[in-house]
Amino acid sequence: MMRFMLKSKLHMATVTDKNMAYEGSIEIDEELMKAVDLKENEKVLVADVNNGERFETYVIKGKPNSGVIALNGAAARLVEKGDKVIIMSFGLFADGEYKGPKVAILDEKNHIAQMKKESSCC
């Protein structure tokens, strides 16, 4: 059986910028993308901890080690600079192949404070 499971998560990222005059997406620091295995153009679910908004968009690569988490296009209307967001990506896994998500817990400057280890849960 195939299951849709959490693959990647950036927890408590701080929105650094927003730009409504852009075609749309979320720009993420390239090093953060690598840490949790996010790829450019990958679909993500974003949850804004401050206002409860949840929306989908796609990832674009930001400057490495910049700490950038910027919402563009229509999604920019759903957040404010300084908001805390959770960025999640999901994947389809066969029973027995899922090893758990790659999770990075971020500090106030969007640096990795802690990496959660993958678990062999299923």
Enumerate the active-site residues. 25, 58
Instruction: Give, as one character, the DSSP assignment of residue 118.
Output: P
For 95-108, b/e burial (b = at least 16 CB within 10 A) is: eeebeebbbbebee
Burial class (CB in 10 A: 0-12, 13-18, 19+), 6: middle
Three-state SS for 55-70 is EEEEEEEECCCCCCEE
